[in-house]
Amino acid sequence: MRNLLFSAFLLVLILLIDIIWRSKKSIGLKVLKGFGILIGFLTIGLYSITDDSFGASSPVNVHTENRTDENLKVYTIAFWQDNWNGSFVTFDKELKPKEQSDFWFENDGTDEFWVVGKNENEDIKFLEVVSENRGEFFFAITGIKKIEPNQIQIAKDLTFKKDKSVAMEKYAVWSIFGLMGLLFLSMLYDLKNWWQQWL
């Protein structure tokens, strides 16, 4: 997330420099804009490959199937030493009824993890506590089981925070694409002016 925000800040800075010194028509400005576009591509590329489990020390593959009649967002929450503050939440995606998904999360040194299904009204519809130490699991999401109320509240709080983080990441990614587009249009404008000078 910090890389995305830093990249967006750099692109905004380059656009501001371009606007302020556009009249000088410096070759350095063109190089700076090209550098900005390259930074944007590299940032988006690095962000997209974080979904790959290559290099993870203890990846756990999770297969889920939504057997309810409503759309559910699927998460895992990994805990360290029964400390609710020492947790890491992974969001997979929103599953439609009868849809399946495969994803992974890092489970290095955790005591247990939860698989959580949450509907569009933010209600926890599925929560399964897992303490087995395996590398692959399958969960058929059929609905809520007998779960302690405090577990449901913890899952609500942690998934809500993750939802906000995911939304911020999406905004940052789209901002980077937009800023890269503006830099590209600016370079095309410079190229058009250069071409007209040579005609």
At 16-45, the pLDDT tens digits run 888 877 666 667 777 888 888 898 888 888
Q: What is the mean pLDDT of residues 101-129?
A: 86
- What is the distance between the alpha carbons of residues 15 and 149, in angstroms, rounded to a whole number? 51
| Token pair listed for 177 | 């694409």
Task: Look up the pTM and report it.
Answer: 0.76
- Given a contact cutoff of 8 angstroms between Cβ atoms, the answer to whether 196 and 29 are in contact is no
Greater pLDDT, 62 or 5 = 62
The top-scoring range by mean pLDDT among 86-90, 93-97, 194-198 is: 93-97
Q: Is the pLDDT of residue 164 over 70?
A: yes
- What is the distance between the alpha carbons of residues 28 and 104, in angstroms, rounded to a whole number? 44
DSSP-assigned beta bridge partners for residue 65: 100, 140
- What is the distance between the alpha carbons of residues 183 and 92, in angstroms, rounded to a whole number? 33
HEC per residue, 141-197: ECCCCCCCHHHHHHHHHHHHHHHHHHHHHHHHHHHHHHHHHHHHHHHHHHHHHHHHH
Q: How confident is the model at residue 54 (pLDDT cuts 50, 70, 90)?
A: very low
Tell me the per-residue pLDDT of 166-176, one tens digit each, with 9 for 90 and over: 899 889 999 99
